[in-house]
């Protein structure tokens, strides 16, 4: 299965920080993470094949309650690179609230898109979600801006995985 993350610089989740956030429950500002990657590699090009798993965030007994047995998910921030056959494997997308995010998708209509895949909108608790997102079928996940309140991030990530697995378990093609 494939999870799409925004390529927008203003998004709170990106290809640079998604793995650490979704696997370890540790959120790092994506722009700082991008700078760190650039410093380590000498360039800022993201990996094309980033894989994430819920296994660190959900215990085996928690995963067992879902009929969906997928354990690893591929991340991409460039849906235009997806082959037509790969769109059937897209199960989830994080949205920034910008309509241009859907350019190059199988549909440019978010309402239609989120009848087929699970959508999430990551925001700061201290801020309102992007207003247009309320019209789409996406779940808002809120993290704190304050460093001393980062301990809630793991709970937010557990909520994400539970919600995604609940959605996937409802799909007949999941097993």
- DSSP letters, 20-55, are HHHHH-----HHHHHHHHHHHHSS-PPPS-EEEEST
Q: What is the pLDDT of residue 45?
A: 62
Please, which residues have CB within 8 angstroms of residue 61's CB and are 6 or more apart in sequence? none
Evaluate whether 124 touches 13 at the Cβ level (below 8 Å).
Answer: no
Place of tokens 């959508």: 119
Please, which residues have CB within 8 angstroms of residue 23's CB and are 6 or more apart in sequence? 52, 53, 56, 57
Query: What are the DSSP E strand ranges found in 55-104?
Result: 72-76, 90-94
The one-digit pLDDT tens for each residue of the chain (175 residues) are 999 999 888 899 999 999 999 999 999 988 888 777 766 766 556 666 789 999 999 888 888 888 887 889 999 999 988 999 999 999 999 999 888 889 889 898 999 999 999 999 999 999 989 888 988 999 999 999 988 888 899 999 999 999 999 999 987 566 5
Rg (CA), the chain: 16
Task: Give SS3 for 145.
Answer: coil
Question: Could you tell me the pTM of the whole model?
Answer: 0.91
Q: What is the pLDDT of residue 12?
A: 95
Tokens of 55: 């296994």
Q: What is the pLDDT of residue 70?
A: 85
Evaluate whether 32 touches 39 at the Cβ level (below 8 Å).
Answer: no
Q: What is the pLDDT of residue 17?
A: 93
Give the C-alpha separation, 38 to 57, whole Å.
Answer: 28
Evaluate whether 40 touches 126 at the Cβ level (below 8 Å).
Answer: no
Instruction: Please state, as a whole number, how many other Cβ atoms lie within 10 Å of the Cβ of residue 161.
Output: 23
């Amino acid at each position: 299965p494939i999870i799409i993350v925004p390529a927008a610089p203003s998004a709170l989740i990106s290809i640079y920080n998604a793995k650490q956030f979704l696997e370890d429950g540790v959120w790092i500002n994506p722009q700082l993470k991008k700078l760190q990657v650039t410093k380590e590699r000498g360039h800022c090009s993201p990996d094309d094949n980033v894989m994430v798993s819920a296994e660190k965030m959900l215990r085996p007994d928690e995963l067992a309650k879902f009929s969906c047995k997928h354990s690893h998910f591929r991340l991409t921030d460039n849906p235009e690179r997806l082959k037509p056959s790969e769109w059937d494997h897209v199960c989830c997308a994080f949205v920034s609230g910008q309509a241009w995010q859907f350019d190059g998708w199988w549909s440019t209509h978010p309402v239609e898109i989120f009848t087929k895949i699970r959508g999430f909108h990551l925001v700061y608790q201290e801020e309102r979600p992007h207003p247009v997102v309320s019209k789409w079928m996406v779940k808002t996940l809120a993290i704190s801006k304050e460093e001393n309140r980062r301990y809630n991030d793991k709970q937010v990530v557990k909520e994400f995985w539970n919600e995604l697995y609940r959605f996937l378990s409802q799909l007949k093609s999941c097993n």
